[in-house]
Amino acid sequence: MSKPPSLNVVLIEPEIPSNTGNIGRSCVGYRAQLHVVGKLGFELSDKRLRRAGLDYWPHLTFAHHPTFEAWWSKVQDPSRVFLFTTKSSKDFSKTQFQEGDWIVFGKETKGLDESLLAQFPDQCLTIPMPGPIRSLNLATSVAMVLFEAFRQSSDEP
């Protein structure tokens, strides 16, 4: 029997189905639950979503929360919610992740809402970008953070 999900990946209003599909596949690989929140830029039945997730999608622990408030009601410890943004200078790899943490990403074109970031300034993290780009692709960013959080919080090799 496989272990239950150890981490939570949250996508606020994702817009690109193939990104969400790839993120779902990464969640299966690292035993994370995927939460999508709010209005989506695609249908959950979109074939691009399923194609990107390959045949792993049936193994995904997944929840769609219609509103931010519906998702937030599931968070037991708000101090374990980490918001990813280009508007922070706090390197995500310097954070000590734990099993059960929530790693939260915004929509591909706009990121997370400024008002949300302002509520939790100490929990805003970034992936450092030494090159001349603003950010990585959402699926790539989630995979990097998910691996680091899993590496730190898991007792598995």
Instruction: Write the CATH number for 95.
Output: 3.40.1280.10
Task: Report the sign of the C-alpha dihedral through residues 152, 86, 122, 7, in that order.
Answer: negative
Please indicate, yes or no, if residue 2 is contained in any of the structural domains.
Answer: no
The pLDDT value recorded for residue 18 is 84
How many independent structural domains does the chain possess? Answer: 1
Residue 60 CA: distances (Å) to CA of 4, 83, 113? 11, 22, 27
- H helix or E strand, kind and range, residue 12: strand 7-12
Please give the model's pTM, rounded to 2 decimal places.
Answer: 0.89
Q: Which two tokens stand for residue 53?
A: 């997730």
The larger pLDDT score, comparing residue 129 to residue 51, is at 129
State how far the Cα of 61 lies from the Cα of 126, in Å rounded to an integer: 26
Please indicate, yes or no, if residue 43 is contained in any of the structural domains.
Answer: yes
Please indicate, yes or no, if residue 120 is contained in any of the structural domains.
Answer: yes
Please indicate, yes or no, if residue 1 is contained in any of the structural domains.
Answer: no
Please indicate, yes or no, if residue 26 is contained in any of the structural domains.
Answer: yes
> What's 120-153 look like in SS3?
CHHHEEECCCCCCCCCCCHHHHHHHHHHHHHHHH
SS3 16: coil
Please indicate, yes or no, if residue 72 is contained in any of the structural domains.
Answer: yes
The pLDDT value recorded for residue 126 is 96
The pLDDT value recorded for residue 132 is 92
CA dihedral 36, 38, 41, 46 (to 10 degrees): 50
Please indicate, yes or no, if residue 123 is contained in any of the structural domains.
Answer: yes
Structural domain that includes position 137: 7-153
The pLDDT value recorded for residue 58 is 80
Q: What is the pLDDT of residues 7-37, one digit of tens each?
A: 999 999 999 888 888 899 899 999 999 999 9
Chain-centroid distance, C-alpha 11:
5
Please indicate, yes or no, if residue 90 is contained in any of the structural domains.
Answer: yes
The pLDDT value recorded for residue 1 is 38
